[in-house]
Amino acid sequence: MSTATAMRTLLAEVASRIAAAPRLEGDVRDDAVREAQLLVAGVLDVAPGVVLQAAARDDTVTPLVVDAVRRATARRAEGEPLAYCVGHAAFRHLVLQVDARVLVPRPETEVVVDEVLRCTADAPGGVAVDIGTGSGAIALALATEGRFDRVIATDVSRDALDVARANARRVSPATPLDFRAGADLAPLAELRASGTRVRVLVSNPPYIAWSEAAALPSSVRDWEPSVALFADDDGMARYRVLLAGAPALLEVGGWVVLEVDARRGGITADLARQHGYDPVRLVRDYAGRDRVLVARWPGPRERAISGSIGQ
């Protein structure tokens, strides 16, 4: 068992270990002090500023905390993602449990939620569907921030669904949330059979081509679940399935909102137009890259009128 340690000493110890860890990316090692602050804050489940204040006051931390920080540091030094090492990650206003069964939620995916809320802001109600929910980040954000009657979250991985259900128990959204196992649109067969229409179908699908794996950071490639990262057909396979199948589920005027690979945003938008979605637009993320496809399903009658006007 460790002894009580001064916060500033603990931060220095963690930073030194990270700076010397050859399995970490160079940018992480170069900013080891900041990484140490994030790691200790994550273990304590507080903001990094709280850790800095404790160090400035020369506070000490208990042996239990010291041991927990050292265990997390050892995992991080092996290259494991920070969120896995501390067991949780922030997404919008939520703090979600994450581990190696699910992707780490990322800031750019918050733009997906922004667009769903924007598309559906005119009136409450309807069904929202999140395909490939992973940790449940998108579904839980919609269930807490949106005004839907119901949110359905699916995933091909039952392990991922276990994580998402655990997060739902923690969050306890007021909107009913239904988890279903299966690939792509298969878990929604009951909706088609019952005639229930979907107001918005949203997904952050796997979109990295297998040939691009070597270029990924090792913290992603070697640790996060490949089923949630990689797709066939040069990363386009899931987009083709979702855009082709969604019209059979969407209400007239319903929406498809998809996170996209910035390198294939234009291709994905063209594919949506080929399937008859209108309008179709790409939204940029915080770094200025095409990141979100927003496509409206006009329905057969509106498509026919639009087509006759254009002739």
> What percent of the chain has a predicted confidence (pLDDT) above 90?
93
Q: Is there a single domain that holds both residue 77 and residue 132?
A: no
Q: How far apart are CA 204 and CA 146, in angstroms?
A: 18
pLDDT classification of 274: cutoffs 50, 70, 90: very high
Closest C-alpha among 102, 61, 75, 83 to residue 21: 75
Asked if the model's pLDDT at residue 302 lies above 80, the reply is: no
Q: Is there a single domain that holds both residue 79 and residue 117?
A: no
Q: What is the pLDDT of residue 130?
A: 98
Domain end among 24, 51, 86: 86
Say which residues have a Cβ less than 8 Å from residue 11's Cβ, sequence separation at least 6.
33, 36, 37, 40, 51, 55
Q: Is residue 206 part of a domain?
A: yes
pLDDT in tens, 7-44: 999 999 999 999 999 999 999 999 999 999 999 999 99
Asked if the model's pLDDT at residue 197 lies above 90, the reply is: yes
Q: What is the pLDDT of residue 192?
A: 84
Asked if the model's pLDDT at residue 229 lies above 90, the reply is: yes
- pTM equals 0.92
Q: Is residue 35 part of a domain?
A: yes
Read off the pLDDT of each residue in 90-100 and give the average, rounded to a whole number. Answer: 96
Closest C-alpha among 235, 262, 258 to residue 246: 258
Q: Is there a single domain that holds both residue 40 and residue 122?
A: no
Q: Is residue 93 part of a domain?
A: no
Q: Is there a single domain that holds both residue 152 and residue 54?
A: no
**DSSP classification of residue 278:** S
Asked if the model's pLDDT at residue 309 lies above 50, the reply is: no
User: 203 lies in which domain range?
Assistant: 100-310
pLDDT in tens, 120-163: 999 999 999 999 999 999 999 999 999 999 999 999 999 999 99
Q: Is there a single domain that holds both residue 271 and residue 160?
A: yes
Q: What is the pLDDT of residue 4?
A: 79
Asked if the model's pLDDT at residue 98 lies above 80, the reply is: yes
Q: How far apart are CA 185 and CA 120, in angstroms?
A: 21
Q: Is there a single domain that holds both residue 74 and residue 110?
A: no
Q: Is residue 91 part of a domain?
A: no
Q: Is residue 187 part of a domain?
A: yes
Q: Is residue 95 part of a domain?
A: no
Q: Is there a single domain that holds both residue 152 and residue 47?
A: no
Domain end among 33, 61, 86: 86
Asked if the model's pLDDT at residue 104 lies above 80, the reply is: yes
Q: Is there a single domain that holds both residue 20 and residue 153?
A: no
CA dihedral 175, 179, 185, 188 (to 10 degrees): -70
Q: Is there a single domain that holds both residue 114 and residue 169?
A: yes
Read off the pLDDT of each residue in 55-75 and give the average, rounded to a whole number. Answer: 96
**DSSP classification of residue 217:** -
Asked if the model's pLDDT at residue 3 lies above 90, the reply is: no
CATH value at residue 40: 1.10.8.10
The amino acid sitting at 36 is: A
Q: Is there a single domain that holds both residue 291 and residue 203?
A: yes
The average confidence (pLDDT) of the chain is: 94
Q: Is there a single domain that holds both residue 48 and residue 171?
A: no
Asked if the model's pLDDT at residue 232 lies above 90, the reply is: yes
Domain end among 60, 86, 112: 86
Into how many domains does the chain fold?
A: 2
Q: Is residue 192 part of a domain?
A: yes
Q: Is there a single domain that holds both residue 182 and residue 136?
A: yes
The amino acid sitting at 144 is: T
Read off the pLDDT of each residue in 49-56 and give the average, rounded to a whole number. Answer: 97
pLDDT classification of 307: cutoffs 50, 70, 90: low
Q: What is the pLDDT of residue 7?
A: 97
Q: Is residue 59 part of a domain?
A: yes
Token duo for residue 134: 């992973």
